[in-house]
Amino acid sequence: MPRLLIPTFGLLVANVLAAQQPMTPPGHFHRLAHTYSIVAFDSVTGDLGVAVQSKFPNVGGIVPWAKAGIGAVATQSLANTEYGDRGLTLIAEGATAAEALAIIMRSDTSLSDRQVGLVDSHGGAASFTGTTTFDWAGGRVGDGHGGSILGGKGAAIQGRGFAVQANIMVSDQTVANMASSFLASEGPLADRLLAALKAGQAGGGDKRGMESAALLVVRAGGGYLGANDRFIDLRVYDAVDPIAELDRLLTLHKLYFFPSDPKDLLDLTPALVARLEPILLREPEGQPDKWLGASQGTANPTFLAALKNFMYWENYDVRVRMDGKIDRVVLEDIFRKHPE
């Protein structure tokens, strides 16, 4: 893929300002997405993702952008969706995250109000914070050696692996916590991104409070039935504690859309059959025909067919089995919803 020929990244941006002074809110203040976010690349799985929280409604419909095998973008403050749409196009054409950021910055007439973070599928990362964003505002990118690089107002910084950015924060502790959390965490990208949001909030978060949050992770063929790349796409439009709600939604998403982990499979012993049969004998509630017409006592074909139909009805589609085993996670959820 040809590389784009552009000037050196550092020549296109201003240096970090030494101090950040309070300013009178502009007329467009109500349109600013006062926000903290993280964009990141998982070198093990190739996943790309964005996690964001804001004292602004429906931040998930504005800030996060991502495309499998290409990159991820968070555009905030006075959000410019061109950083998402065109940024991903430029990366797909061969630009790094830093190069794509520099190209779009050149033609942005409201650059001082912008804040944006980008990563590409090679692990490149970049972040920019405009000079008229509100205190505290700035970002961090991974340095590729287990640490991170700080950038304040007027600075565009580049690094490796991830970019975190925030504006109207209590202090710089929010981005410091997010970077440290991501660097120290292991496991699936979605879990690491959510942990970074929690760490950012623990560092003070948005001066005005909390309202909405979103988590977007893309993977080639990772969407429903493999038809798209939306592996995880969760949005909290408005909530008292949007991060806690996002955590709850991620747990539900894993239950209903992730396949069984082999280590969670249990044999359908006669004891488990005895616990499940009363549920199958009385469900579906309000319907004359039940999943099971009579007790079977063992996981025979009749019982397995009844259990399969029940599981489809309850939306456990991706965890349905006909081999005499059941997913422990599903079993626990069944008993929680249908007390014995």
Residue 170's pLDDT band (cuts 50, 70, 90):
confident
Residue that finishes a domain, picked among 228, 257, 286: 257
2 part of a folded domain: no
69 part of a folded domain: yes
Q: Are residues 233 and 318 in the same domain?
A: no
pLDDT of res. 340? 79
pLDDT of res. 323? 95
- Is the model's pLDDT at 10 over the cut of 80? no
Indicate the number of domains in the chain: 2
- Across the strands, what pairs with 36? 53, 166
pLDDT of res. 3? 43
Q: Are residues 211 and 297 in the same domain?
A: no
Residue that finishes a domain, picked among 202, 232, 257: 257
Q: Are residues 134 and 213 in the same domain?
A: yes
Helix then strand count (H, E) for the chain reads 8, 14
123 part of a folded domain: yes
Q: Are residues 297 and 240 in the same domain?
A: no
- Is the model's pLDDT at 24 over the cut of 60? no
Strands 156-160 and 148-151, by their bridges, are unpaired
Q: What is the mean pLDDT of residues 52-77?
A: 94
216's tokens: 């977007």
Q: Are residues 156 and 236 in the same domain?
A: yes
CATH number, position 174: 3.60.20.10
Q: Are residues 180 and 324 in the same domain?
A: no
Query: Who wins on pLDDT, 198 or 4?
Result: 198
| Beta strand segments in 93-211, E | 114-120, 124-129, 138-142, 148-151, 156-160, 162-166
Q: Are residues 214 and 269 in the same domain?
A: no
42 part of a folded domain: yes
Lowest mean pLDDT among 99-103, 205-209, 329-333: 205-209
pLDDT digits (tens, 9 = 90+) for 116-162: 999 999 999 999 999 998 888 999 999 999 999 999 999 999 999 99
Range of the domain at 202: 9-16+30-257
Q: What is the mean pLDDT of residues 78-88?
A: 90
3 part of a folded domain: no
The phi, psi pair for 129, rounded to 5°, reads: -130, 125
189 part of a folded domain: yes
pLDDT digits (tens, 9 = 90+) for 273-316: 999 999 999 999 999 999 999 999 999 999 999 999 999 999 99
pLDDT digits (tens, 9 = 90+) for 200-242: 988 776 666 789 999 999 999 999 888 999 999 999 999 999 9
**CB distance 126 to 101 below 8 Å:** yes
- Is the model's pLDDT at 8 over the cut of 70? no
174 part of a folded domain: yes
pLDDT of res. 321? 93
Q: Are residues 323 and 306 in the same domain?
A: yes
**CB distance 133 to 77 below 8 Å:** yes
185's tokens: 């965490």
Q: Are residues 177 and 309 in the same domain?
A: no
Tell me, rounded to whole angstroms, the distance of Cα 192 from its chain centroid.
Answer: 9
DSSP assignment letter at 155:
B
23 part of a folded domain: no
Q: Are residues 246 and 279 in the same domain?
A: no
pLDDT of res. 11? 41
- Is the model's pLDDT at 33 over the cut of 90? no
pLDDT of res. 202? 84
Strands 48-54 and 114-120, by their bridges, are unpaired
pLDDT digits (tens, 9 = 90+) for 171-182: 889 999 999 999
